Amino acid sequence: MTVTYIDAIHAAMDHLLRNDPRVFLYGQDIATFGGAFKATKGLAEEHPGRVFDSPISEDAMLGMAAGAAVEGMRPVIEMQFADFSSLAFNQIVNQAATHYYRTGVPVPLTVRLPSGGAAGSGPFHSQSMEGIYAQYPGLIVLTPASVSDAYHMLIDGVQLDDPVIFCEHKFLYRWLKAKSLNGDHLPIGKARIVRTGKHATVVTYSAMVHEAVRAADRLQKDGWEIEVVDLRSVKPLDIDTVLASVARTGRMLAVGEAFPWGGVTAELIARVTEDGFHLLDAPPVRLNSRDTPIPYHPKLWRAHRPTPESICHALNKLLRF
């Protein structure tokens, strides 16, 4: 038996609905239809009165979720694509994220963001928003890269008392498979070293973990041992695990699929440079998508985001410094 990444998300929501009466699902086309990616397939029938189709109103969906959350519910909101969460931005960053600090009343809601690119998806169905949400105080931003993490982190995230931005990568939905949902079940906020090495560290998250591991496999043929750190959550950021890895390797490449200006990779460079300058044998390097909207054509798209080739290229430069 194999389970895919999207099976894990489906199973997590099924588990939550079964075990926590406070949980309900709200989103576009998620009830009878089962969602644009079928993440909620069958859940409306399995859990009557708990899964709702929403109008195409991202702002109101999130305002509604925040109101329900302060009254004791645990709403899980599906954005049809992460890109559309820009329409809910105000309710997320101003309503939900500020509420606990202002009033002392927490807002336990979860927003699922089908994130990242797939060939042919174009500028408005491919975005990675984690850096934008991580910038705001009051949010927890999760970026699972494995089947087990997708399952456990969604369940654990919904149990947290704060608003959670759950970035699930669309490319991993059906491509990533595992034998079961079991895993090490690390707590949210802990990074994982997915591949050990001694010559350089790649710090990344979500689908880029798999691209980084492929790049590391290729470089192994040339005798390089590359360590790969999966952040798992970009906020909180487990900088201790990153610094410990950099202490071993002396070199860091930060990789993210989001746009290059600022964001998670820039934060990593800033923190490692500030707190771990003495550990570095070479200037830390970052690799992101290109600074254009995400192109539609597969030939352009593949060259827009980091790939094993571009990661190898960046690592080769870093290793030869």
Q: How far apart are CA 77 and CA 65, in angstroms?
A: 7
3-state secondary structure of 90: helix
Let me know: does 241 contact 232? Beta carbons within 8 Å: no
8, 25, 61, 215: residue in contact with another protein (rule CB under 8 A):
61
Q: Does 62 bind another protein (CB under 8 A)?
A: yes
The C-alpha angle with vertex 241 and arms to 205 and 235, in degrees rounded to 5, equals 50
Residue 185 interacting with another protein (CB under 8 A):
yes
Catalytic status, residue 125 = yes
- Minimal distance, residue 135 CB to another protein, in Å: 12
- Figure out which of the listed residues 134, 140, 158, 231 binds another protein, where binding follows CB under 8 A: 140
Compare residues 10 and 192 and give the one whose CB is closer to another protein.
Answer: 192
Nearer residue to another protein within complex by CB, 55 or 223 = 55
Cα separation values, 237 from 33, 78, 191, 225, 308, Å: 36, 24, 8, 24, 24
In the chain, the amino acid numbered 305 is R
Q: Among the candidate windows 10-18, 125-133, 183-191, 312-320, which touches another protein by CB under 8 A?
A: 183-191
Q: What are the start-end ranges of the E strands in the chain?
A: 3-4, 23-27, 51-53, 74-78, 110-115, 140-142, 164-169, 177-178, 192-195, 200-204, 226-230, 233-235, 252-255, 285-287
Question: CA-CA distances (angstroms) from residue 50 to 19, 28, 44, 161?
Answer: 12, 14, 7, 20
- The catalytic residue among 125, 169, 199, 304 is 125
Question: Rule CB under 8 A: which of 217-236 touch another protein?
Answer: 236
Q: How far apart are CA 82 and CA 206, in angstroms?
A: 14
Distance in Å, CB of 173 to another protein, minimum: 26
In this structure, the number of other CB atoms found within 10 A of the CB of residue 204 comes to: 30
Among 33, 101, 124, 321, binds another protein (CB under 8 A): 101
What binding mask, one character per residue, do residues 186-215 give for another protein by CB under 8 A, x or -? xxxxx-------------------------
Among 9, 17, 24, 286, binds another protein (CB under 8 A): 24
Closest CA to 77 of 131, 23, 136, 10: 23
Is there binding between residue 99 and another protein (CB under 8 A)? Answer: yes
**Using the rule CB under 8 A, is 160 a contact of another protein?**
yes
Catalytic residue annotation: 125
Contacting residues toward another protein, per CB under 8 A: 24, 49, 54-55, 57-73, 75, 90-91, 94-95, 97-106, 137-138, 140, 160-162, 184-190, 236
